[in-house]
Amino acid sequence: MKFICLTLLLVSGITDSRSEQYEVVGPADPVLAVAGEDVILPCSVKPNISVVDMRVEWFRLDLEDSVHLYEDHEDRNTDQIQSYRGRTKLYYQELQRGNASLKLSTVRVSDEGRYKCFIQTKSWSDDATVDVRVEAVGSPPVITVDGFDRSGGLHLQCESEGWNPEPDLEWLDSEGVSLSSGTTETHRNTDRFGVKNTVIVYHSGKIHCRVKVKHHMLETLIDTSNNRFISWRTSVIMSSVFLALSVIAGLLIAAFAHKYREQTQLRNEKSRIQDERDQLLRSLKTIITQALTHLRRYRVKVILDADSAHPRLVVSHGGKQVRDGKRRKEEDGKDRFDKNLGVLGKDGFSSGSFFFEVQVKNQTVWYLGVARESSNRKNVFSLSPDDGYWTVSLRYGKYRARDSDSLSLTVNPQRVGVFVDYEKRLVSFYDVKSMSHIYTYTDQYFTGKLYPFVSLGYWRNENSTPLIICDE
């Protein structure tokens, strides 16, 4: 009788154990995510039994650290990777249906990798791997004119930043036919790619520069049939003709002295054409993405908020100027910057477009742009979109964006315009005096209000020149 009872207990235990067995299932193909957007990492069990009472953990295979942990009916994320804080979520109602999919918000390029979905009971466990690929859409391609060669070929250069993975760049004519060009130059800034390529065209018409990754594409065009290009091409050809004539005249001088006056006139004509060509080259060197006259329709009145300013800063009575006062005031508070010499505008914007200008002339260290209302103002932080700041800056004699991307500017800006389109998720910067484009953040993730932001660096600024908000 005891033997029969023992046998029944063993069989019952085996049956219960088998009843708890399940299979964790993930997607067969990689999951595509777009930087700045949200993505769902699929994971479920078969059969569709409840996992409410189970341990569900997501972690990165390459980092071997926790991305999200659910245990004993609640989230336990004390050991969660810092960069995932506040960005992960399980759907509790779906857990009853065996669905343990993870929502990852505001995807970053650094989120790309292989994830493990691990589900465990007291007597059984299984897992599945999810491969996440992140695409980041860069800035619209910018086409610049590098001049004509002596054969009349127009040199065009196309450049774009901020892509992931490494994008393809191609030139197309007005019929959509690919044009032969040189090797594309690729460089990487932190976790994103930039590309640059030059093409030589010998005919008039619309020329397209297209930059694309697998699922996204941006394109810019330039019309070389414009009268100014035709005029310039004619000048180049005439210059070549006169140069050839000048060489011939030089050879004939020894035999024909009476040709000396004719040769002098020829050289003068050649010099005049060369001057016209150089003048056209300077006027066409930079193609502005958007006319500043259009952007100024969105100008807003910016008044700096002295209550947000670092204790060393002195904000003028009207809130239009800020400088380093050379000593720290006793004033302090939770809303003030304490390490960064920053100050926000009083008014924020959560929709539409707005534009303002800041004079930076003679100041050697400055940051300016916009900041999220909830962004960190304490200690030393990165002035990047991940921390709620969209800026360009001058420090150590170099111009930068994202607090790291180096900018190659042909002139030193004296007055910088900042344009924000909240719905289109972009922030653009312009050199007002030279009417040129400096940098653009595209496909950004905005939440809440954005406030104008200016800064004189960290800790202290020995240059007494103020930053000035320009209303006119």
Give per-residue pLDDT as tens, 153-170: 888 999 999 999 999 999
Per-residue model confidence (pLDDT) at position 7: 45
Strand order in 398-401's β-sheet?
A: 340-344, 450-458, 366-372, 389-395, 398-401, 405-407
Common-topology check for domains 22-135 and 146-225: yes
Grade residue 12 by pLDDT with cuts at 50, 70 and 90: very low
* Integer Cα distance of 200 and 184 in angstroms: 14
Q: Which residues of 394-418 are buried (b: 16+ CB within 10 A; e: fewer)?
A: beeeebbbbbebeeeeeeebebbbb
3-state DSSP call for residue 420? strand
The answer to whether 319 and 303 are in contact (CB under 8 A) is yes
Which residue would you say has higher pLDDT here, 283 or 102? 102
Per-residue model confidence (pLDDT) at position 260: 60
Grade residue 269 by pLDDT with cuts at 50, 70 and 90: low
3-state DSSP call for residue 64? coil
* DSSP assignment letter at 433: T
Residue ranges of alpha helices (H) inside 254-369 are 260-284, 292-295
Q: What is the pLDDT of residues 446-470, one digit of tens each?
A: 989 999 999 999 988 999 999 999 9
3-state DSSP call for residue 44? strand
Mean of pLDDT values over 51-57: 95
Centroid of chain to Cα 31 = 22
pLDDT at 18 > cutoff 90:
no
Grade residue 13 by pLDDT with cuts at 50, 70 and 90: very low
* Integer Cα distance of 275 and 300 in angstroms: 42
Mean of pLDDT values over 318-333: 86
SS3 percent helix, strand, coil of the chain, rounded to 5, is: 20, 40, 40
* Integer Cα distance of 292 and 416 in angstroms: 11
**CATH no. for 292-470:** 2.60.120.920
Residues 6 or more apart in contact with residue 23 via CB below 8 angstroms? 45, 46, 126
* Residue boundaries of the structural domains of the chain: 22-135, 146-225, 236-284, 292-470
Residue ranges of alpha helices (H) inside 148-307 are 227-253, 260-284, 292-295
Per-residue model confidence (pLDDT) at position 145: 85
Pick the range with the lowest mean pLDDT from 95-99, 433-437, 439-443: 433-437
* Integer Cα distance of 163 and 443 in angstroms: 11
CATH class of 22-135: mainly beta
Grade residue 385 by pLDDT with cuts at 50, 70 and 90: very high
Average pLDDT, the chain: 84
pLDDT at 241 > cutoff 50:
no
Mean of pLDDT values over 50-61: 94
Nearest Cα to 283, choosing from 228, 201, 238?
228
* Integer Cα distance of 103 and 98 in angstroms: 15
Pick the range with the lowest mean pLDDT from 63-67, 158-162, 264-268: 264-268
Q: What is the pLDDT of residues 292-304, one digit of tens each?
A: 777 888 999 999 9
% of the chain with per-residue pLDDT over 90: 58
Q: Residue holding tokens 């394109």?
A: 219
Grade residue 93 by pLDDT with cuts at 50, 70 and 90: very high
Give kind and range of the element (H or E) at residue 7. Answer: helix 2-19
What region does 457 belong to: left with phi over 0, alpha with psi -120 to 50, or beta? left
The fold of the 146-225 domain, in CATH, is: Immunoglobulin-like (2.60.40)
Mean of pLDDT values over 101-118: 95
Which residue would you say has higher pLDDT here, 104 or 229? 104
* Integer Cα distance of 129 and 148 in angstroms: 55
The answer to whether 148 and 154 are in contact (CB under 8 A) is yes
pLDDT at 55 > cutoff 90:
yes
Q: What is the pLDDT of residues 174-215, one digit of tens each?
A: 888 989 888 889 998 888 999 999 998 887 788 999 999 988
pLDDT at 390 > cutoff 60:
yes
Per-residue model confidence (pLDDT) at position 284: 39
Q: Residue holding tokens 């003709």?
A: 241
Grade residue 410 by pLDDT with cuts at 50, 70 and 90: confident
pLDDT at 279 > cutoff 70:
no
The answer to whether 68 and 88 are in contact (CB under 8 A) is yes
Mean of pLDDT values over 18-23: 76
Grade residue 305 by pLDDT with cuts at 50, 70 and 90: very high
The answer to whether 276 and 270 are in contact (CB under 8 A) is no
* Integer Cα distance of 11 and 5 in angstroms: 10
Residue 248's CB: how many other CB atoms inside 10 A? 10
pLDDT at 240 > cutoff 50:
no
Paired tokens of 457: 């660096």
Q: How far is CA 323 from CA 344, 396, 461, in A?
A: 14, 19, 8
Residues constituting the chain: 472
Q: What is the pLDDT of residues 347-366, one digit of tens each?
A: 999 999 999 999 999 999 99
* Angle ∠(229,230,232) on CA atoms, nearest 5: 65
User: Does pTM surpass 0.85?
Assistant: no
